[in-house]
Chains A and B, each alone.
Chain A
Amino acid sequence: MSATIAVPNPSVWDRVRTYSPSRRYLPVVATFALFIGMFGAGGIRYEGFTDPQVFLSLLLDNSFLIVLAVGMTFVILSGGIDLSVGSVVALSTMIAAKTLEMGWSPYLSMVTVLVVGTLLGTLMGLLIHYLDIQPFIATLAGLFLARGLTYLISTESIPITDATFTELAFASITLPGGYYTTWTVVVALATVVVAAAVLARTRFGRTVYAVGGNEASAMLMGLRVAAVKVGVYAISGFCAALGGLLFGLYTLSGYSLHAVGMELDAIAAVVIGGTLLTGGRGFVVGSLLGVLVLGTIQTFISFDGTLNSWWTRIVIGALLLVFVVVQRLMTRRQT
Chain B
Amino acid sequence: MTHTQEQVVTVRPEPSQQPVVEMRDISITFGTVSALDRVSMRLFPGEVHALMGENGAGKSTLIKALTGVYTIDAGTIVVGGEEHEFHTPAAAQAAGISTVYQEVNLVPNLTVAENMLLGREPRRFGAINVRAMNRRARQTLERLGLDVNPGSLLGDHPIAVQQLVAIARAVDVDARVVILDEPTSSLDADEVEKLFDVMRRLREHGVAIVFVSHFLDQIYEIADRMTILRNGRLVEERMVAETSQLELVRLMIGRELEVLERLDRDQRQAAVSSETPVLKAVGLSRKGSLEATDLTLYEGEVVGVAGLLGSGRTELARLLFGADTADHGELEVRSSRRRLRSPRHAIDRKMAFSSEDRKAEGVIGDLTVADNMLLALQASRGWLRPIPQATRARLVRDYIQALDIRPADPDALMRNLSGGNQQKVLLARWLITDPDVLILDEPTRGIDIGAKTQIQTLVADLAAKGMAVVFISAELEEVLRLSHRVVVMRDRRKIRELPNDDVSVSDVLEIIAGEARQTEEGTA
Q: Do A and B bind each other?
A: yes
A: residues with CB less than 8 A from B are 1-6, 22, 24, 197, 201-203, 206-207, 209-210, 212-214, 216-224, 280-281, 334
Docked-complex contact B118 and A201, CB < 8 angstroms = no
From known contacts A1-B111, A5-B134, A210-B118, infer whether A216 and B128 are also in contact, taking CB-CB under 8 Å: no
| Contact A206-B127, Cβ < 8 Å, known A1-B151, A220-B99, A221-B105 | no
Known: A203-B123, A221-B169. A2 touches B107 (CB 8 A): no
B90 within 8 A of A: yes
Chain B residues near A281 (CB-CB < 8 A): 109
A209 & B107 in contact (Cβ 8 Å cutoff): yes
A108 to B304, CA, bound (A): 80
Q: Does residue B110 face the partner (Cβ distance < 8 Å to A)?
A: yes
Contacts of A202 in B (CB 8 A): 126-128
**Contact present for A5 and B150 (CB under 8 Å):** yes
User: What is the minimal beta-carbon distance from B179 to any residue of chain A, in angstroms?
Assistant: 12
B contact residues, range: 35 or more
Residue of A nearest to B155 (CB): A334
Q: Is B93 an interface residue when CB atoms closer than 8 A count as contact?
A: yes
* Chain B residue, CB-CB nearest to A217: B105
In the complex, chain A residues whose CB is within 8 Å of the CB of B127: 197, 201-202
Scoring A2, A217, A224, A281 by chain B CB atoms within 10 A of each residue's CB, the highest score goes to A217
**What chain A residues lie within 8 Å of B416 (beta carbons)?**
none
Give complex CA distance A4, B151 in Å.
8
A279 vs chain B, min Cβ distance (A): 9
Chain A residues with CB under 8 Å of B121's CB are 203, 206
Which residues from A are CB-within-8-Å of B215? none
A9 to chain B, nearest CB (A): 13
Whether B118 pairs with A221 at a CB distance below 8 angstroms is yes
Complex: how many Å from CA A1 to CA B110?
10
A201–B107 CB distance below 8 A: no
Say whether B108 contacts A214, CB under 8 Å: yes
User: Is B108 in contact with A213, judged by CB distance below 8 angstroms?
Assistant: yes
Contacts of A3 in B (CB 8 A): 151
Residues of A near B88 (CB, < 8 A) are 222
Main secondary structure of the interface of A (DSSP, over half): helix
Q: Kindly list chain B residues whose C-beta atoms are within 8 Å of the C-beta of A6.
A: 149, 151-152
**Which residue in B106, B128, B153, B156 is a CB contact (below 8 Å) of A217?**
B106
CB contacts (< 8 Å) of A221 on chain B: these are 89, 105-107, 115, 118-119, 169
Inter-chain contact A203/B134, CB cutoff 8 Å = no
Q: Which residues of A contact B220 (CB under 8 A)?
A: none
Contact of A213 with B109 in the complex, beta carbons under 8 Å: yes
Q: Chain B CB within 10 Å — which of A4, A5, A203, A213 has the most?
A: A5
In the bound assembly, the distance between CA atoms of A283 and B62 in angstroms comes to 41
In the bound assembly, the distance between CA atoms of A276 and B149 in angstroms comes to 25
Question: In the complex the two chains form, is A207's CB within 8 Å of B118's CB?
Answer: yes
Q: Does B114 contact A (CB under 8 A)?
A: yes
Q: B432 in the interface, Cβ–Cβ < 8 Å?
A: no
- CB contacts (< 8 Å) of A334 on chain B: these are 155-156
Q: Are A2 and B89 in contact (CB under 8 A)?
A: no
User: Residue B196 at the A interface, CB < 8 A?
Assistant: no
Complex contacts, B109 vs chain A, CB 8 Å:
24, 209, 212-213, 280-281
The chain B residue sitting closest to A3, CB to CB, is: B151
The answer, yes or no, to whether B130 is at the interface (CB within 8 Å) is: yes
